[in-house]
């Protein structure tokens, strides 16, 4: 069995792409998308008529155009998979709880009008305090959420206490930060702070009986993925999925609910405590705002591409 086949027996594989051809070929259970991936999808010839029609429909109002294209591509993805698609809320709303809720409800309504049940949608929100509170309110309405840009245990704890369906800790971005901070170009997976962070979060959740699922994300290499074999879900770029499918390495389960390594005290955070923990966590304090800025920049790239297409 290939490494990919073995992993599929331990964890749910999610395709981190909006490329419909790749999703059709790879056949993941779930898929996730974002403005960068939507921009790439819209460059394909088969999407040009849709793009032109949508621009005409909304007279070039790019916010409305992006929303409709996001839903359209989400629906296309759902035709190719059995599970759920994560749909990202505009990152500019990351520090605005009510605006995040409102946008999420717009998305759910649009999917409903397209014949898609809300059970097949994960609303993707940045793991700010405001984002977590928005997701908590949405979860109470039966709308499932995926909390992204998660780099610290305080974010993970707050998400679990809020009853969030799914979190996406960013393994690769933590490794990038670690390499820069330690001035190292090569860090073994046993010392990889991204891998260690996800392992700790997974252990904390299982030890304390949380239902929130952990989906490792943002991988730089297959070693990181293999080191998290057994995680609830892993969202992987197509090139790394393909690489895993060529490996015949024996995969050993690294994470399971029964493999508790150490006793981890249960903690909780109010807003003040969360903000203090955020400032004290050098990695999260650096990467969370940088990640939001990156998502906003990716959206601006999409806006520019749409304006250029007029």
At residue 227, the pLDDT reads 98
Q: What does DSSP assign to residue 66?
A: H
Evaluate if residue 184 carries a pLDDT over 80.
yes
pLDDT, tens digit, for every residue of 260-293? Answer: 667 899 999 999 999 999 999 999 999 999 999 9
Smallest Cα–Cα separation from 306: which of 2, 17, 26, 35?
Answer: 35
Smallest Cα–Cα separation from 286: which of 178, 189, 160?
Answer: 178
Domain 3-308 architecture: Alpha-Beta Barrel (3.20)
Classify strands 213-216 and 145-150 as parallel, antiparallel or unpaired: unpaired
Query: Whole-model pTM?
Result: 0.94
pLDDT, tens digit, for every residue of 228-262? Answer: 999 999 999 999 999 999 999 999 999 998 876 67
Q: What does DSSP assign to residue 46?
A: G
Distance between CA 217 and CA 254 in Å, rounded? 16
Catalytic residues: 124
Q: Are 43 and 66 in contact (CB under 8 A)?
A: no
């Amino acid at each position: 069995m290939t490494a990919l086949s073995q992993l599929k027996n331990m964890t749910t594989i999610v395709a981190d792409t909006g490329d419909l051809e790749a999703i059709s070929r790879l056949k993941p259970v779930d898929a996730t998308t974002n403005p960068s991936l939507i921009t790439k999808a819209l460059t394909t010839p088969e999407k040009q008529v849709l793009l032109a029609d949508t621009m005409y429909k909304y007279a070039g109002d790019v916010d409305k155009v992006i929303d409709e294209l996001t839903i359209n591509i989400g629906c296309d993805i759902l035709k190719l998979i059995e599970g759920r698609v994560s749909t990202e809320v505009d990152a500019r709303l990351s520090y605005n709880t009510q605006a995040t809720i409102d946008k999420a409800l717009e998305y759910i309504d649009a999917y409903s009008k397209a014949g898609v049940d809300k059970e097949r949608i994960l609303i993707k929100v940045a793991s700010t305090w405001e984002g977590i509170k928005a997701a908590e309110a949405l979860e109470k309405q039966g709308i499932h959420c995926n909390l992204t840009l998660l780099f610290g245990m305080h974010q993970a704890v707050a998400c679990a206490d809020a009853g969030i369906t799914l979190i996406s800790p960013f393994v690769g971005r933590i490794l990038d930060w670690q390499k820069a901070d330690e001035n190292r170009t090569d860090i073994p997976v046993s010392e990889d702070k991204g891998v260690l962070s996800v392992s700790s979060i997974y252990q904390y959740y299982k030890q304390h009986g949380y239902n929130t699922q952990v989906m490792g994300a943002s991988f730089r290499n297959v070693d990181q993925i293999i080191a998290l074999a057994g995680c609830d879900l892993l969202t992987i770029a197509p090139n790394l999925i393909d690489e895993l499918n060529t490996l015949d390495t024996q995969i050993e389960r690294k994470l399971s609910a029964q493999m508790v390594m150490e006793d981890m005290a249960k903690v909780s955070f109010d807003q003040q405590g969360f903000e203090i923990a955020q400032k004290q966590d050098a990695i999260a304090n650096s990467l969370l705002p940088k990640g939001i800025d990156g998502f906003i920049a990716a959206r601006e790239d999409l806006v520019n591409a749409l304006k250029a297409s007029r």
